[in-house]
Amino acid sequence: PPKFCIRFRRKKVGADPQILEDYHTAVFQNITMAAIGSLVFCVDCGNLLPSTRGSDRNTLRCECCGAENKDTGSKKIVTSSKPADFPSFLRQKLQSSVQNVVRHEIQTDSVVHEKCPKCGREEVTYTNVQLRGADEGSTVIYLCKCGNSWHENN
């Protein structure tokens, strides 16, 4: 390895040059691929190489030792995931509390306690509509299960 890198490491690590040489030989000489994720390292000295710039040469120059290294970093990373890939206590809780509702069981009409004048039933459905001018009140149309309907102007 170059002396610059050894001197730098000796100051940080506090080891003599022979230990660093042995470490360099054991660790960096046998590396065939020097990429960890998107990080690319020099195979000669272990220095982190600058990020790829999309050059046509597909090589990166080490600023520490000057060695030319193959750019083994990925050029494009594509990932895809779905919510099920990330288990969550909250998602499980939500799924366990969800009710299945059938469309014909949903009551879409509003129910009010109003007595039907024809049959005397206490609960009838109603609809609120605007039949008159915008500056006047709305009209409430009541419908009983017996088929009777009537309206009331508000």
pTM, full prediction: 0.32
Q: Give the contacts of 146 (CB within 8 A, at least 6 positions apart).
A: 116, 118, 119, 121
What pLDDT shows up at residue 30? 43
Average of pLDDT values for 83-109?
Answer: 69
Most confident of 12-26, 54-68, 73-87: 54-68
3-state helix, strand, coil in the chain (%, to 5): 25, 20, 55
Percent of the chain with pLDDT over 70: 58
pLDDT at 146 over 60: yes
- Asked whether the predicted pLDDT for residue 9 surpasses 70, the reply is no
Give the pLDDT confidence score for residue 11 in this predicted structure. Answer: 42
Report the alpha-carbon distance of residue 131 to residue 149 in Å, rounded.
16
pLDDT of residue 6: 42
Q: What is the mean pLDDT of residues 113-123?
A: 92
The H-or-E segment that residue 148 falls in is: none
For domain 108-153, the CATH class is mainly beta
Query: How many CA atoms does the CB half-sphere of 11 hold within 13 Å?
Result: 5
Pull the structure tokens for residue 78. Answer: 């594509």
Q: Determine the Cα–Cα distance for residues 102 and 126; give it in Å rounded to an integer.
A: 23
pLDDT-derived band of residue 120, with 50, 70 and 90 as boundaries? very high
> Please, where in the chain does CATH 2.20.25.10 lie?
108-153
**111 compared with 36, residue with greater pLDDT:** 111
Per-residue model confidence (pLDDT) at position 59:
79
